[in-house]
Chain A
Amino acid sequence: MAKVTVNGIEVEVDPSYTILKAAEKAGISIPTFCYHPRMDPAGSCRICAVELEDSKRVVMSCVTPVADGMRVLTESPKIHDARKTNLELLLLHHPLDCPVCDCGGECPLQNMSFAYGATESRFESHRNDEAEDLKSDVLVFNANRCILCGKCVRICDEIQDVHAIGFINRGFDTIIGPPLGKKLDCEFCGDCLEVCPTGAITDHFVRYKFRPWQLEQHQTTCTYCASGCQMQVETENESIVRVTSKEGLGPNEGSICVVGRFGFNHVQTPQRFDTPYMRVEHRLVPSSWDEVLPELASRLNAIRRKGTDRVAGLLSSRVSLEDAYAFQTFFRRVLRSNMIDTGARYGFMNAAIPLVEATGTLRPLVDHEDLLKAKVILLVGADPVAESNITGLFLKRAARKNRAKLYVVDSEAITLSTRASDHIRIHPGGESLFVGVLSEEISSRGNLSAEWLTRKEELFKNWNVDPGVFQRLVNDLKSAETGIVVTGRKMFRNENASRSMINMMRLIGSLGWIEKEGCGILPIPETANDLGVLMMGATHEWLPGLLDARNESSRKQWENAWGTSLSYGPGGGLEQILQGIEEGRINALITIGENPIGHFPPGSRVREILGKLELIVALDMFQNELVDMAHFVLPASSSFERAGHFVSIEGFVQKSVSTMAHWGESLPDWEILEKISYAMGNPMGFDSSEKLMAEIVRFLPDLSPSTRNGEHFVGGTGDIHLVKPLDSCGFANASDVKGVGGLSLLKASGSTPHKANRESVSSRFRSWTEMSRPIMNATSGIPGEGEFIFSMSKSLFHSGKMTLQDPNLKKIQPEGKLRINRQTARKRKIKKGEKITLTSAHGRCSFVVEPSPMVSEFELVFPEHFADAQVLALFPPEMAFSPMTGTPTTHRIRVSLSTETIS
């Protein structure tokens, strides 16, 4: 330890500290432009100058390491002069166009010039007069305002690992921009925009539309993916102007992805429903809550009287815990139905059921911090950068800065492949086989049966994978101190996903990673609250707290908790719902932000099946196929307009606050359900989202809001406040009431309340994994001669179909393009932007092509967000569901390619 005296305050710090960090510890702040806590220091702005008392020298505090006995002055006449001179030099070229600069008012350079009185320069020079670079659709580069601190270049390089911008030219002519004067083409995370200390980088979407002092800031949680980023939604007159982040705050530590930063405008577009609609004589007519509710209630009551399980419900997994809890209460308690399902069924359920079976919890074993400590990371069937951007950032950091061995197993090259120590390129859909072989290899301790050995050799030959790389992976996994398996969407949407997940559990079980701290599996949920809605029991399998819904004793537990008797039927998921509707056992369907028609090929008759329903109620924000059929369309509030809690990929329960007024007459989903139940004469009794959350926490104390550092980020205007204690919400002290399903969520230890309790997981784990055996005859994903595998991916620039309504994100990615291997395209003489036609056994569809070096030569990849009925027509009309998890199983299809276009 080194003793340093800063302005007379003595602090003891690690010798690796810089003076700046030591001063920070002493509670003294030193002005900086180019320093960024998450990046290596650059020492380019020369503003953080401090004086060493003994040698009387002026040094840069951000790059100078401390020495024992060092005495530092951060404010002295000498330092004042040094900083002022520096500012004058910086202002030589900087145009004083603050009044029209978007940064004016929140500009560190402006503040510093003001503080040091350096508004006029003693030096003579010309002001830069470069024209602004307006080429990009997202960012505007103004070279005149740039002070060349290099923060943007460094954050793009060190944190985002994208390398999209750099220094161009040298000396006085240096500017920042994308290479070769081209249009910026990157992940558009906007981190450079966030860190820029001047107005050199601004964005097109809010350009000149605001001034910082007009805005009101709301600290909230992003609700697109499960990363659980903390962001600041800035509003003016109840409408959202922009989204920013605060350095170091939340799991994202100040970075947010393109969707979080720019995808806020769809909630304030005129297409949104602003009033309830009712179908009168085959036409949806605008109505009011007072008219709609009694009519809807009487029709629901009539159907409810027919018996149990008469009404089915589909819930989007983007809703908050409160909504999910109200949803299942409404169905189980009010409608006596267990025919409920969530959007997680389309994919994440394949991970959730094996996870709950194997570990008893959906709380993750590892979090982002563990990724940084891991020595080996195996990434199978996931593209974390697109699916959960912040997890992607942590993986980049782990592989790049912490030198973790990253093995990527994927059919196409993903962003992280460049940082991988090895990329095992399997064939499309081969994830399940790979995991099968790997788990068999590891659990048999290298003594593979002859049958498996031949299968393995055959596979690797087919895939053209070097067995040596596989052996290296096996050895690394076995010898790793700490290791983590990360998996995601591609895995969940594999034909044998649930079996593969079991194999993965078996794999980490036989590696001994269940017992070992810092090891485990990290499945990336597909949407913001996949984990939360499942924990809230919004599927037919589980009651809140992941208790078995068909188990008599767990039903009793909740009956006691709620003080009512529950008389729902056996229920069912998506498959049973569609079946039940077709057979006439289900008469009504209530959907919340879900549109089953959009998920199945047009030939699958989902539309016809749903047409048999007596009553369809759609709670949605935008028009879609289901809304066109619905008898009642109720306007739902977006997550920007209401408060709610979300469970992040790391298991944190974080609050998203209301940042703008409800759009028109829209209401939160829970409130709509409450109003319907009230009109039905059987009110659930939820009168505010706070009380609703208080009830959840009272019964399931594990779900109390949690964050990494213990404090809770709750809205307000920019500040972080501690969450109100729950007992002030009208309930008895939460700790007095015994939790109901708490046990099955497996309460974690005090220090890591978000993670699963390793002891209880491991005690349960061993007994279960024995029953799993990998499947040998799964498809290896090799298409025939001249054929391709058509598959759908998640785009980085969209989240579900909702963001297709967003003007900002639509500008960034306006249409879905079919990505094809570059060599294949060249061979077939297909050029970028051309139209080609794909033909499968079931249909044909034409696409605009985009050759890409990332895609494998066997695959054609299309972003799922743009998959409309025409695209889905390629898939077989028969609906196939996984027997174990009830998820729809067709996600890939063999297609042939032709350059002719369909008329």
Chain B
Amino acid sequence: MTLKSLVKSVLFTEIMQGLKLTFTHMFKKKITVQYPHQKLELADGYRGFIVHRRYENGQERCVGCDLCEAICPAKAIRVVGDIHPEFPERRFAKEYTLDFTRCIFCGFCVVACPVNALSMTKEYAHSSFTREGLIYSKDQLLTLGDKCESESIAYLKVRNMWGAEDSGKDEGRYHFPPISATQSGG
């Protein structure tokens, strides 16, 4: 045993060094959040619950193209397409189910969506006592989307998916104008 190590062990230098970090933190600002009383401010790109979006006139955007189902790595999405009951030339999703028990919140579906009908929100705390409670239908997704509209727009913008068709120009990849009573065909 050398003299140096003897001094070290008698004077508890190592412990003091460790405690130094502890003591410095005593004088810093606290970062612990008292969830659920206190909530964090989330970034715009946060990948929370997926929602369905509508056009400004209230028409749902989803065209039932099934690309989200095709890309979903967790097989959480199921789309059943059909002819739109009012517009025989249009496709729409007759059924749309998103199983949040399987969803891994990767956001691929939002990327795949050609009409920006999907987006992600800052909702993360939806819980249920049953598994079925976490399998969302299209209506539920739309309701959630209405609730979190600004969040879903912010997500698309920050992820660079706020495309041409959203800003009203017609030059985009796909041309799917909102379905309104005065407008058909296209």
Majority secondary structure, A binding face: loop
A511 to chain B, nearest CB (A): 57
Docked-complex contact A100 and B83, CB < 8 angstroms:
no
5 closest A-B pairs by CB: A99-B65, A208-B91, A211-B66, A100-B91, A99-B114
Docked-complex contact A214 and B83, CB < 8 angstroms:
no
Which residues on B sit within 8 Å (CB–CB) of A448? Answer: none
* Complex: A213 Cα to B89 Cα, angstroms: 22
Docked-complex contact B186 and A96, CB < 8 angstroms:
no
Docked-complex contact B64 and A208, CB < 8 angstroms:
yes
Interface centre among A99, A129, A211, A213 (most CB of B within 10 A): A99
Q: Tell whether A131 is near chain B: CB-to-CB under 8 Å.
A: yes
B78 to chain A, nearest CB (A): 9
Which residues on A sit within 8 Å (CB–CB) of B82? Answer: 208-209
Which residues on A sit within 8 Å (CB–CB) of B114? Answer: 99
Docked-complex contact A208 and B81, CB < 8 angstroms:
yes
Which residues on B sit within 8 Å (CB–CB) of A96? Answer: 173-174
Docked-complex contact A99 and B115, CB < 8 angstroms:
yes
A-B contacts, CB under 8 A, total: 49
Q: Tell whether B63 is near chain A: CB-to-CB under 8 Å.
A: yes
* Complex: A727 Cα to B33 Cα, angstroms: 72
Q: Tell whether A95 is near chain B: CB-to-CB under 8 Å.
A: yes
Q: Tell whether A127 is near chain B: CB-to-CB under 8 Å.
A: yes
Docked-complex contact B63 and A100, CB < 8 angstroms:
yes
Q: B175: which of A95, A105, A207, A210 is its contact (CB, 8 Å)?
A: A95
Docked-complex contact A207 and B66, CB < 8 angstroms:
no
A720 to chain B, nearest CB (A): 26
Q: Tell whether A291 is near chain B: CB-to-CB under 8 Å.
A: no
Q: Tell whether B168 is near chain A: CB-to-CB under 8 Å.
A: no
Q: Tell whether B88 is near chain A: CB-to-CB under 8 Å.
A: yes
* Complex: A208 Cα to B81 Cα, angstroms: 6
Which residues on B sit within 8 Å (CB–CB) of A209? Answer: 80-83
Docked-complex contact A129 and B83, CB < 8 angstroms:
no
Interface centre among A95, A104, A134, A211 (most CB of B within 10 A): A211
Q: Tell whether A517 is near chain B: CB-to-CB under 8 Å.
A: no
A2 to chain B, nearest CB (A): 46
Docked-complex contact B175 and A211, CB < 8 angstroms:
no
Q: Chain A 252-265 against B: per-residue CB contact (8 Å), 1 yes, 0 no?
A: 00000000000000
Q: Tell whether B16 is near chain A: CB-to-CB under 8 Å.
A: no
Check A134/B89 contact, CB under 8 A, given A97-B175, A99-B115, A99-B174.
yes
Count of interface residues, chain A, beta-carbon cutoff 8 Å = 19
Count of interface residues, chain B, beta-carbon cutoff 8 Å = 24
Q: Tell whether B67 is near chain A: CB-to-CB under 8 Å.
A: yes
* Complex: A209 Cα to B65 Cα, angstroms: 10
Q: A213: which of B70, B80, B90 is its contact (CB, 8 Å)?
A: B70
Q: Which of A807-863 contact B (CB under 8 A)?
A: none
Identity of the chain B residue whose Cβ is nearest the Cβ of A95 in the assembled complex = B175
Q: Chain B 63-87 against A: per-residue CB contact (8 Å), 1 yes, 0 no?
A: 1111101100000000011110000
Identity of the chain B residue whose Cβ is nearest the Cβ of A127 in the assembled complex = B175
Q: Chain A 96-122 against B: per-residue CB contact (8 Å), 1 yes, 0 no?
A: 110110001100000000000000000
B146 to chain A, nearest CB (A): 23
Which residues on B sit within 8 Å (CB–CB) of A207? Answer: 83
Q: Tell whether B185 is near chain A: CB-to-CB under 8 Å.
A: yes
Which residues on B sit within 8 Å (CB–CB) of A213? Answer: 66, 70
Which residues on B sit within 8 Å (CB–CB) of A97? Answer: 174-176
Docked-complex contact A99 and B63, CB < 8 angstroms:
yes
Q: Which of B68-127 contact A (CB under 8 A)?
A: 69-70, 80-83, 88-92, 114-115
Identity of the chain B residue whose Cβ is nearest the Cβ of A144 in the assembled complex = B186
* Complex: A132 Cα to B90 Cα, angstroms: 10
Docked-complex contact A210 and B89, CB < 8 angstroms:
no
